[in-house]
Chains A and B, each alone.
Chain A
Amino acid sequence: MNTTFLIAGREISTRIRSKSFLITTLVMVLIFAAAGLAPKLISSLAPSGPETLAVASSELESAVAPLASDDLSITALSSSQAVEDAVESNAASAGLVVEAGKTVLYTNRDTSSELVPQITALIQSAAQTSALEAAGVDVPELNATVAAAAPVVQLVGTAPVNTVLTIVSFFISLLLFMQLLTYGGTVAQGVVEEKQSRVVEILLSTVSSRQLLVGKVVGIGAVGLMQLALLLVAGVAAASTAGYIAFDGDILRIAALCVAWFIPGYLFYAFAYAGAGAVVSRVEEIGQSTTVLTMFIMISYFAAVFGMQDITAAWIPIVSMIPPFSAILMPMAIAAGVATSWQIVMSLVLLVLATIGMSLLGARIYERSILRMGSRVRWREALSARS
């Protein structure tokens, strides 16, 4: 066990100290943080700051007083002409005057789109109230009656899709896709590098092939897991800082789930990639021997992208139960809230079973192939009973 940790430790320390890892991680953290902050950054480029509404009389000032807020200040100016000039020179973003018994609202290019209907509604409502009062209507009672007549809104059937969670779920599938592809490939590469440099023969004179394989898979997986956690922290921190997601129990549960789901998914692919790496002798040959595995990961991700078109589609929770697609799809389905409890449990059980099976198979292929240099070892030979 100590030996396995020693091997895993070497994998971790040599990988996290490598320049390429540090640079890639930094760039990815920046990208994920930027993705979280992007909408906020874009909107901050548009003109903002408090608007000013200029009015020509104190009467009008008190009429629009309910609109005053942090975003809108109201100034009274001496004359209608002064208001018009202020709006024209952009000293005020809108101006309200009464000319010849008619209320006029001056606007310019900076007038926010909400301001016009707000002022219109306020003035019309004031006119309506005074007209009703003049007709002897009890306005507060009328208002109470109107308010009581509002319909009760009741949702039946499926809840509307939570857009934010759908986007979060897509990012989860993207993250898992990247990590599985990268770190599965890293395992295959690490296996072939040891085989190609022949250091494996020295290692196997000291440690068993199981220890070597498990140490490598665990070490590389730990690096992948740390990086995944870091990216999630960056994305969640950025998006919640920008106010797009609420930093609450839900998002933490989703992030933790993504990290937890990575473990069986990664182990499944890691052992598969290790076996696929062990049958070839040179790094250049990895591509062809791992094609099938890479395709499984790609298909899972394409399914996730396709699922974004209608996250409530019935096929999503079904496919999310089938390993190894479940490694990417189920966390997405859970984050989007479209998987039921039994589907989640079933998916996890099947994935863990598939992972156990794949670890035995991968270790067997690895053991039989790792010392066989030269031409690619045939699958049939790698799996046959005798070495």
Chain B
Amino acid sequence: MTPSLHVRNLRKSFGALKALDDVSFTVDAGSIFGFAGSNGAGKTTTMRSILGVLSLDSGEVLFGDSPITRDVRRSIGYMPEERGLYPKMKIGEQLTYLARLHGIGRSEATSLMQTWTERLGIDERRGDIVDSLSLGNQQRVQLAAALMHNPAILVLDEPFSGLDPLAVDVMSTVLREIADRGVPVLFSSHQLQLVEDLSDHIGIIKAGHMVANGTVEQLRGASPKRYRITTPGLAEGWLDALDGVVIESVDAGSIVVNIGNTDPARVLSAAVAAGSVSEFSPIRARLTELYKEAIA
């Protein structure tokens, strides 16, 4: 069983600015944790402190049950927010070099480089220097650099920014694949739809605070509050017996209700009693709404 990554009570100030204020969350082994938050909220600072690139004022990062060691940190696959590669070095050489810095032997590093450049569709560009690549392709090289050494943990800061839809697909597939190997995967993004689609677990950070933290289902609330009743019309007063249920909107063919704490089964039976109901379904909140709510 691969250990999970735990972030515990991180605090970090830059002068008067509290960049991280008691940030805690867990990235389970084999799951993808999507990290959302506006610019300057503390995503990058959190990731940098997991990497140990930045020193913390207090708090700890655990891998499994014990504090993360230098060796484990060396095995993190990291994609910094500010992309960084040697601009004048050939891609193949560069990836091989970065893998070897992780302690991988020359021949294995070469074969890993070949595997990942093929997988990410940049195998034709191995002999080219980074500067000659399009931004999207540079991003692929950057991802390859993070994946080259079979990382025990993956930490990706805004991996999707600047990617075309095709590259987004490749990136998503690869992240899921890595997670399926049992690796904890942490990534940040501004693209909430992507975070929602891809993540098993979502954390939202605001001004150094975690304002939301849970699975997508948990964030939406354990039990949905809003339901859509598809019906040509219901008899007047069908809601009279149900306290706390409010009609939010009535369209041609459907009614949206907020049921509050009422048992949805009671609402359904009241509706069925008052007319013909072809569908009764919970309305899932989009992450966008949750996000706005959380950071408001």
Query: Which A residues form the contact surface with B (CB < 8 A)?
Result: 2-3, 6-7, 10, 14, 194, 197-207, 371, 373, 387
- B103 — which chain A residues lie within 8 A by C-beta? 2-3
Minimum Cβ distance to chain B for residue A18 (Å): 9
Which of chain B's residues has its CB closest to A212's CB? Answer: B101
Minimum Cβ distance to chain A for residue B138 (Å): 11
B168 within 8 A of A: no
Give CA–CA (A10, B65) in the complex, Å: 37
User: What 6 pairs across the A-B complex have the smallest Cβ distances?
Assistant: A198-B84, A199-B84, A198-B82, A201-B80, A205-B78, A206-B101
User: Which residues in chain B, 87-108, are within 8 Å of chain A measured between CB atoms?
Assistant: 87-89, 97-98, 100-103
Minimum Cβ distance to chain A for residue B105 (Å): 11
Give CA–CA (A202, B74) in the complex, Å: 10
Which of chain A's residues has its CB closest to B157's CB? Answer: A201
Inter-chain contact count A-B, CB under 8 Å?
55
Listed stretches B48-56, B217-225, B244-252, B256-264; interface member: B48-56
A14 touches B53 (CB 8 A): no
Give CA–CA (A195, B101) in the complex, Å: 18
- A373 — which chain B residues lie within 8 A by C-beta? 82
21 A–B contacts from the bound complex (CB under 8 Å) = A2-B103, A3-B101, A6-B97, A6-B100, A7-B101, A10-B97, A197-B85, A198-B80, A198-B83, A200-B84, A201-B48, A201-B78, A202-B85, A205-B51, A205-B52, A205-B53, A206-B98, A206-B102, A207-B74, A207-B101, A371-B54
A201 touches B102 (CB 8 A): no
Q: A14-B89, A197-B86 are in contact. Are A203 and B101 (CB under 8 A)?
A: yes
Give CA–CA (A387, B14) in the complex, Å: 10
User: Which residues in chain B, 59-82, are within 8 Å of chain A measured between CB atoms?
Assistant: 73-74, 76, 78, 80, 82
- A200 — which chain B residues lie within 8 A by C-beta? 84
- A201 — which chain B residues lie within 8 A by C-beta? 48, 53, 78, 80, 82, 84
B86 touches A199 (CB 8 A): yes
Give CA–CA (A94, B234) in the complex, Å: 138
Minimum Cβ distance to chain B for residue A206 (Å): 5
- B80 — which chain A residues lie within 8 A by C-beta? 198, 201-202, 205
B53 touches A6 (CB 8 A): no
- B76 — which chain A residues lie within 8 A by C-beta? 205
B84 touches A204 (CB 8 A): no
Give CA–CA (A206, B73) in the complex, Å: 7
B51 touches A197 (CB 8 A): no
Minimum Cβ distance to chain B for residue A198 (Å): 3
Which of chain B's residues has its CB closest to A7's CB? Answer: B101
B145 within 8 A of A: yes
A6 touches B86 (CB 8 A): no
Give CA–CA (A10, B86) in the complex, Å: 11
